[in-house]
Amino acid sequence: MSSPEHNPLRDPRDKRLPRIAGPAGLTIFGVTGDLSRKKLMPAIYDLSNRGLLPPGFALTGVARREWENQDFGDVVYEAVKENARTPFHQAVWDRLAEGIRFVSGSFDDPGTFERLSRTIKELDEERGTGGNHAFYLSVPPGAFQTVLTNLSHSGLAEQTEDEWRRVVIEKPFGHDLESAKELNRTVNEVFPEDSVFRIDHYLGKETVQNILALRFANQLFEPLWNAHYVDHVQITMSEDIGLGGRAGYYDGIGAARDVIQNHLLQLLALTAMEEPLSFSPGDLRAEKSKVLSATKPVGPFAQTTARGQYTGGWQGGQQVPGLHEEGGFASDSKTETFAAITLEIENRRWAGVPFYLRTGKRLGRRVTEIAVVFKRAPHLPFDDTMTEELGQNALVIRVQPDEGVTMRFGAKVPGTSMEVRDVTMDFGYGHSFTESSPEAYERLLLDVLLGEPSLFPVNEEVELSWQILDPILDYWAQHGYPEKYKAGSWGPPSAETMLARTGRVWRRP
Amino acid sequence: MIVDLPSTTTSQVNKKMVELRESGGAVALGRVLTLVIVTDDSSETEQAIQAANEASREHPARVIVVAKGARQAAARLDAQIRIGGDAGASEVVVLRVYGELAEEGAASVVPLLLPDAPVVAWWPNDSPEYPAKDPVGELAHRRITDAAAEPDPIDALGARTRSYVDGDTDLAWTRLTSWRALLAAALDQPPFEPIRGATVSGEADSPSTDLLAGWLASSLDIPVHRKVNREGPGIVSAVLERPSGNVEVVRPDGKIGYLTQPGQPDRRVALERRAVRDCLAEELRRLGPDEIYESTLRGLSEVVREDPDEHAEESEPVSAGQQS
């Protein structure tokens, strides 16, 4: 007898067989956006090309454009041609194109949702999507409520035993604890928590998942992974681009809300959490929630945090405008484009180890990394002159670009005298497993269709993150202005002083 | 860059490789495995190297090609080192061995294996009777053969069954993965009914068709019929019989499959025949024993062959283990 648990053609030892999503369709609200053209549509093609989408998969776009199915198909085609990771195959595209639909209309018009409802019913009949549909809300946060309410009123959110409905939402998940709770309430009124998938695309990256493999599959690192040996941890996400046209979205949000609340705190959770009982979604989340509950901001904030706004200047051979010249920004805006904070984790493993988080725009270069910096050896049987070029040992997990891991340690300089200098040992994902590394969105979209929630933060994690960040945001709102920093530098001087007061320095990524 | 080292020894090859690495700057050291390709010195050698180079983008490897030249000639070793643009993401050493050396290919390979990294042996054609007992096969953790490239592919499968040792695999099996994935996914959906019977059809000499039948027979534990279909290349159809209706996959042209399931609309699926480099990349992904392949080979004896006209003598169940 076969059952979903026991399919006679599936054998746990058979590692070749991929998990293909069951019959399903994906509806994207806001298909005209950048994200959907650059990431979502190519990811869908790549999945399809790798044979991981169900036969009969359907993609429906909803937007306020007077488009026919064919017009939307052309848009997807262009997006795929331009941005897909895997080579273009006409046969694969033809199968995918058969399932592309477009529903035209605005999000506040119930008629749009009626038409969507009809389209979805047709798809169930023609394509066999089996009543399983995921709704991807690639819309500004202000439109969440409208879309959700209309989904609920039109009956599109109703699930039955063998027909699922899921919703995918993107950051920002609110702008403080209060609004995050409000948003979670709104979403959970329409979709139960296990049908809500919050996309944090960092968690879909191979390197981020590799943090778990690195820590828990090896004997080498975990014994050192605690306050006895670790001096401090730096988590950096820097961008070299400015705001460009996103000022409208960014004003009032700022770097801390935009990046630290979600990406960096998730990276912190994975770096600092205890070993989960298993890799099941429940166990992973339990550990992440535990470590986030133990995480507290370190004060006084005047000395332990830094924020800034970039000014114009020369960056990478181009003259770039400052924040206030970009337009769309109030000249007295306190919105920060650089944020650095100090956190501590109140548990036995990490007591006394500061975690420094920083992010910013228009910094030296685009990089995301986690640097675990170790204490100096308690005793050095060398003269001072022998080790003056020796720094602290470090383990750096490079999340992007050039994904990999670097170790820094001391080695003897060749020659007759004893002299020790820092050297690095490098593991590059690109050298060891090139090209097969899928895009984060591929992994995450597939997980949505499979109903596999491990890589998506739940509302508890979102609320805990705000709880950590809120005191700092409140302090910033009441005290002073962001400092200016030059485009192409590594942030304002206060970022350096916040580490210098304890004799530490930021790593230059 | 291509460097020729005529009439040389392996230690000179090693020395030259270190030299090239130092003079060429930081050529990546992060190789994950050594791939040994054993061929005759022919035009197909180059195709095999090409496929390995492409697969190496996923698995950076040191590729050692042992091309066996004329046995009558005087014993000699000609080496060629390729790095950079001529070697994909790998470094390729082509060893042309002549005379007595041709029989001792393994001896020239050992000094060039990467320390600690797994060794994979691949015979693009003319695989040995017992891959695991072959001198090169003995060095390898994984041995890749290709039944489809043998003079009699179906016979070759029989030989594979007799010679199977953990770590053996065959590209005819790898070519099947997309079919197996599709059928398994079809059974992930309701109704969850037992499969009563199954029929697979394909070209008479398509080993993948036989393996598909063998896989179904061993995992479903039912007799599976293997029919000859001259229409298309490779596998043409697979049918799983269930009380409420059959699951059918038909691929008449070797490109697009048609999936039929009761209660669901017919669907077209991209089911293109896979290129050698894709199959090789998939093989290199798994370095442990493939238990499913083993039970599939054992399942071949449960397959009922239906060959109405031509191969009348083969219409009995093929009991591969007993074929001489």
Interface A–B counts its CB contacts (< 8 A) at: 117
Q: Of B101, B66, B78, nearest to B6 (Cα)?
A: B78
User: How many structural domains compose chain B?
Assistant: 2
Distance from CA of A407 to the nearest CA of B (A): 15
Sign of CA dihedral A452, A454, A455, A456: positive
pLDDT in tens, B70-79: 888 888 889 9
Q: Could you say which of B177, B184, B265 has the minimum Cβ distance to residue A9?
A: B184
Q: Please tell me the least confidently modeled range out of A303-307, A321-325, A361-365, B75-79.
A: A321-325
pLDDT in tens, A466-475: 999 999 999 9
Q: Could you say which of A95, A162, A434 has the minimum Cβ distance to residue B190?
A: A162
Q: Could you say which of A10, A95, A128 has the minimum Cβ distance to residue B184?
A: A10
CB A337, CB A251: distance < 8 Å: no
User: Is residue B285 situated within a structural domain?
Assistant: yes
Is the preceding omega at residue A55 within 30 degrees of 0, hence cis?
Answer: no
Q: Region of A313 please: left (phi>0), alpha (psi -120 to 50) or beta.
A: left
Domain span at residue B192 reads 171-306
- Return the residue of A nearest to B188 by Cα: A4
Q: Give the model's pLDDT for residue B49.
A: 86
The verdict on a CB contact (< 8 Å) between A126 and B265 is yes
CB B7, CB B98: distance < 8 Å: no
Average of per-residue pLDDT across B241-253: 90
Domain stop point among B111, B130, B145: B145
Give the rounded percent of residues in chain A with a pLDDT score beyond 70. Answer: 97
User: Is residue B153 situated within a structural domain?
Assistant: no
B122 Cβ neighbours under 8 A, 6+ residues apart: B35, B36, B37, B38, B48, B52, B143, B144, B280
Q: How far is it, in rounded angstroms, from Cα A391 to Cα A369?
A: 19
- Residues belonging to the binding site of A for NADP(+) are 64, 171
Strand order in the sheet with B303-306: B267-270, B256-260, B247-250, B235-241, B197-202, B224-228, B303-306
- The SS3 call for residue B264 is coil
* pLDDT confidence tier of residue B319, bands split at 50, 70 and 90: very low
With 70 as the cut, is the pLDDT of residue B300 above it? yes
Q: Could you say which of A8, A95, A431 has the minimum Cβ distance to residue B30?
A: A431
Clarify whether residues B301 and B207 are in a common domain. Answer: yes
Q: Domain residue spans in chain A?
A: 25-170, 203-373+455-500
Q: Give the model's pLDDT for residue A432.
A: 64
- Return the residue of B nearest to A10 by Cα: B184
The verdict on a CB contact (< 8 Å) between B189 and A128 is no
Q: Give the model's pLDDT for residue B71.
A: 83
The first and second tokens of residue B240, run together, are 């799983």
Q: Give the model's pLDDT for residue B200.
A: 94
Residue B222 half-sphere exposure toward CB, CA atoms < 13 A: 18
Domain stop point among B145, B160, B190: B145
Average of per-residue pLDDT across B27-37: 74
Interface of B with A in 206-225 (CB under 8 A): 216, 219-221
The residue with greater pLDDT, B57 or B52, is B52
Which residue in the list A232, A263, A324, A431 is annotated as catalytic? A263
Q: Give the model's pLDDT for residue A430.
A: 64
CB B312, CB B58: distance < 8 Å: no
Token pair 């944090």 is found at A200
CA distances from B80 to B37, B85, B223 (A): 14, 15, 51
Q: How far is it, in rounded angstroms, from Cα B212 to Cα B128?
A: 23
Query: Out of 3.90.1150.10, 3.40.50.720, 2.102.10.10, 3.90.950.20, which CATH number does the structure's domain A25-170 have?
Result: 3.40.50.720
Question: What are the chain B neighbours of A17 within 8 Å (beta carbons)?
Answer: 177, 180-181, 184
Q: Give the model's pLDDT for residue A390.
A: 83
Q: Of A162, A144, A310, nearest to A240 (Cα)?
A: A310
Q: How far is it, in rounded angstroms, from Cα A305 to Cα A477?
A: 13
Distance from CA of A435 to the nearest CA of B (A): 6
* pLDDT confidence tier of residue B271, bands split at 50, 70 and 90: confident
Q: Could you say which of B189, B219, B270 has the minimum Cβ distance to residue A95?
A: B270
With 60 as the cut, is the pLDDT of residue A4 above it? no
Helix (H) or strand (E) holding A27, with range, is strand A25-29
> A203-373+455-500 architecture in CATH?
2-Layer Sandwich (3.30)
Q: Of B240, B232, B280, nearest to B261 (Cα)?
A: B240
Average of per-residue pLDDT across B39-53: 83
User: Is residue B324 situated within a structural domain?
Assistant: no
Clarify whether residues B115 and B220 are in a common domain. Answer: no
The verdict on a CB contact (< 8 Å) between A432 and B219 is no
User: Is residue B302 situated within a structural domain?
Assistant: yes
Q: How far is it, in rounded angstroms, from Cα B25 to Cα A183?
A: 54
Question: What are the chain A neighbours of B242 within 8 Å (beta carbons)?
Answer: none
- The SS3 call for residue A483 is strand
With 90 as the cut, is the pLDDT of residue A264 above it? yes
Q: Got the DSSP string for B3-46?
A: EEE-S--HHHHHHHHHHHHHHT--------EEEEEEEESSHHHH
With 60 as the cut, is the pLDDT of residue A419 above it? yes
Clarify whether residues B46 and B175 are in a common domain. Answer: no
The first and second tokens of residue A271, run together, are 């770096």
The first and second tokens of residue A307, run together, are 């924020």
Q: Does B260 touch chain A (CB under 8 A)?
A: no
Active site residue A228: no
Q: Please tell me the least confidently modeled range out of A243-252, A277-286, A490-499, B37-46.
A: A243-252
CB B98, CB B73: distance < 8 Å: yes
Q: Give the model's pLDDT for residue B311.
A: 47
Q: Give the model's pLDDT for residue B179.
A: 92
- Burial (CB count within 10 angstroms: exposed 0-12, middle 13-18, buried 19+), residue B314: middle
Token pair 């004003």 is found at A251
With 90 as the cut, is the pLDDT of residue A274 above it? yes
Q: Does B185 touch chain A (CB under 8 A)?
A: yes
Q: Give the model's pLDDT for residue A323.
A: 82
pLDDT in tens, A377-415: 888 888 877 877 788 999 999 988 878 899 999 888 888
User: Is residue B278 situated within a structural domain?
Assistant: yes
Average of per-residue pLDDT across A246-260: 84
Average of per-residue pLDDT across A66-77: 91
Clarify whether residues B67 and B175 are in a common domain. Answer: no
B95 Cβ neighbours under 8 A, 6+ residues apart: B10, B13, B64, B65, B66, B67, B77, B78, B79, B105, B108, B109
Domain stop point among B145, B180, B211: B145
B26 Cβ neighbours under 8 A, 6+ residues apart: none
The residue with greater pLDDT, B100 or B160, is B160
Q: How far is it, in rounded angstroms, from Cα A157 to Cα A191?
A: 7
With 50 as the cut, is the pLDDT of residue A260 above it? yes
Q: Give the model's pLDDT for residue B316.
A: 44
- Return the residue of A nearest to B270 by Cα: A92
With 80 as the cut, is the pLDDT of residue A116 above it? yes
Beta-carbon count within 10 A of B10 CB: 17
pLDDT in tens, A196-209: 999 988 888 888 88
pLDDT in tens, B249-266: 999 888 888 989 887 888
Q: How far is it, in rounded angstroms, from Cα A353 to Cα A21?
A: 43
Average of per-residue pLDDT across B39-50: 83
Interfacial residues of A (vs B; Cβ cutoff 8 Å): 1-4, 7-11, 13-18, 20, 22-23, 48, 51, 54-56, 89, 91-92, 94-95, 98, 125-128, 130, 162, 427-428, 431-436
The first and second tokens of residue A443, run together, are 């992994």
Average of per-residue pLDDT across A8-33: 87
The first and second tokens of residue A82, run together, are 């331009």
The residue with greater pLDDT, B115 or A348, is A348
Identity (one letter) of the amino acid at B276?
V
pLDDT in tens, B109-151: 888 888 778 899 999 988 888 999 988 999 899 999 999 988 8
Helix (H) or strand (E) holding B201, with range, is strand B197-202
With 70 as the cut, is the pLDDT of residue B25 above it? no
The verdict on a CB contact (< 8 Å) between B189 and A22 is yes
CB A200, CB A171: distance < 8 Å: yes
Beta strands in A77-186 (DSSP E): 100-104, 133-137, 165-170
* pLDDT confidence tier of residue B309, bands split at 50, 70 and 90: low
